[in-house]
Amino acid sequence: MSSIDGVGATGQVQEHLSTIADAVEGLCDSDLTGLSDAELTDTMRRLERSLRRTSAVGHNLIVETTERSLPGKLGHKSVNKLLIAVLRISAADASARVTAAKALGTWHALSGEQLPADLPDTAAAQRDGDIGADHARAIREVIRKIPHTVSSSDVAVAEQILAELARSATPEDVEKAGHNLLAHLNPDGNLTDDKDRKRLRGIRLGRQDTNLMTPISGHLDPETRALLDPILAKWARPGMNNPDDPESPTGSTEHPTVDRDQLAAAAGRDTRTAAQRNHDAFKEALRALLGSGVLGSHRGLPVTTIVTMTIDQLEQQTGVVTTASGGIVPIRDALTMAERAHPVLVLFDHNGRPLHLGRSKRLATADQRLALIAADRGCTRPGCDAPATMTAVHHVHDWSKGGTTDIAALTLGCDGCHALIHDGPGGWHTRTAPEGTEYAGRTEWIPPPHLDPDRKPGVNHRHHPKELLERARRKANARREAGMRRRGGSWPRGEARGGGSIADGLP
């Protein structure tokens, strides 16, 4: 190591910075047109990994700046203010970086000794380039919500599981799995607290402004959200209830069946924002409610709230359940809704198989769809988060190629994902996972070569967060055991052997 700019630590840092600058300049000037499709996606992945690793360097720069009290020396009130002045970043960006550095940076004791990061496994995953800032934020949010009564060794294991999960999943997956982890750590289901929720709930209607518009703000409790979602799923979709488009199908009772071609054409013309579509749907829903009280059906099922729960959950009345529209409702609220609003209740046995399909009204054609909602819970393509209310029933094997209507050959897919299944370039294929494999019977999607050169079939864990947690738990244990062997038997951070009670007791 030598540098024209200096010697020792200074010289090394300068040399690394020059190397990065040269490499980036080289990449900026690179001709990308010569890359194959697979090389292009591989380049994206490798660049992303490097960018993620550099944010770990950013954390340590903030740590060093703070530890030597640089903001005060240079006349800034806080490290945030210094970052804004030096880097010309927004206040929100500065605050996010400082918060991340607090949890993930390598801090030092007064003696100069390195302290373990607040979230050591998350920090390690970011240094490896496996996770980005959004993953880390999702993990931090879950850890922040863990009740104070939970032991610190359980918190450490929870962080380890989430960090492991994040290495192979999206930030949204981490968030969803985190809800399950929290429900497990705090089995009364009061993720915040029932009292907090009662206090927070509210819809504020502001004064009509000079445009005669009314601002609205507030908080819906989980039950209200679960009631609203299925209505929006149908009435706020592009093309529906568009007041600017006379040809747009409306959700009124005069049009009980919507012409698919008409809707597709209207969706193509629809330039409204999602917020505007929600607003228009809300308006139509209120109108219909006031007019007739009938909300019609959505994809063959009554517009109502569908919740899934296990017999265990029903007996213990603890934890959270998911709705077919992807919402999360404390189980006690769900049971209250079942009494009052007659939603469709789908129950599972211990193995997750549909056990009982209870509903307020018998609909023979809806049975298959209900069973699929119970089993698949949403679109089955790996990584897709479209909830069941946004999906249609599809054949795992194309009908024209000999698919059957047997329930085992049917699956849920959203319209966008279903369109990806074809024999052309970039097309996906589906099949039923064979007996003897980990997810036998589930729908496997086989990605095109540009996404996975090995074309490894995968199932969608997005709607089954417990599967993700379970896999992450196994990997975290393996990683820790390997680490323990390297350290010659000492157990890190005072944790219980074998992963502690969270990891062992995951439902």
Residues that bind Zn ion (CB under 5 A): 379, 381, 384, 386, 414, 417
- Residue 272 in contact with residue 235, Cβ under 8 Å? no
Beta-bridged to residue 243, according to DSSP, are none
Task: Supply the minimum distance, in Å, between the C-beta of residue 463 and Zn ion.
Answer: 10
Min separation Cβ 389 and Zn ion, Å? 12
Compute the least distance from the CB of residue 170 to Zn ion, in Å: 14
The total of other beta-carbon atoms located within 10 Å of residue 467's CB is 18
Cβ at position 381, least distance to Zn ion in Å: 5
Nearer to Zn ion, 462 or 480 (CB): 462
Query: By C-beta, is 123 or 410 nearer to Zn ion?
Result: 410
Task: Write down the least CB distance from residue 379 to Zn ion, Å.
Answer: 3
- Taking the least distance from each CB to Zn ion, the nearer of 86 and 419 is 419
CA distance 365 to 496: 51
Closest to 370 in 3D by CA, of 349, 347, 351, 386? 347
Helix (H) or strand (E) run with residue 62 in it:
helix 37-67
Q: What is the end-to-end Cα distance of the chain in Å, rounded? A: 53
Please, what sign has the CA dihedral across residues 77, 78, 81, 86? Answer: positive
| Closer Cβ to Zn ion, 202 or 416, answer by number | 416
Per the CB < 8 A criterion, the answer to whether 334 and 321 are in contact is: yes
Nearer to Zn ion, 426 or 483 (CB): 426
Three-state SS string over 74-142 comes to CCCCCHHHHHHHHHCCCHHHHHHHHHHHHHHCCCECCCCCECCCCCHHHHHHHHCCCCCHHHHHHHHHH
Closest distance to Zn ion from the beta carbon of 489 (Å): 47
Query: Closer CB to Zn ion, residue 46 or residue 422?
Result: 422
Q: How far is the CB of 329 from Zn ion (least distance, A)?
A: 23
* φ, ψ for residue 206, nearest 5 deg: -80, 180
Count CB-CB contacts under 10 A for residue 169: 24
Cβ proximity to Zn ion, 188 vs 398, nearer residue: 398
Q: State which residue, 120 or 382, has the beta carbon closest to Zn ion.
A: 382
The radius of gyration of the chain's CA atoms, rounded to the nearest angstrom, is 26
HEC sequence for 411-454: EEEEHHHHCCECCCCCCEEEEECCCCCCCCCCEEEECCCCCCCC
In the complex, least distance from residue 383 CB atom to Zn ion, rounded to whole angstroms = 8
Please tell me whether residue 402 adopts helix, strand or coil conformation. Answer: coil
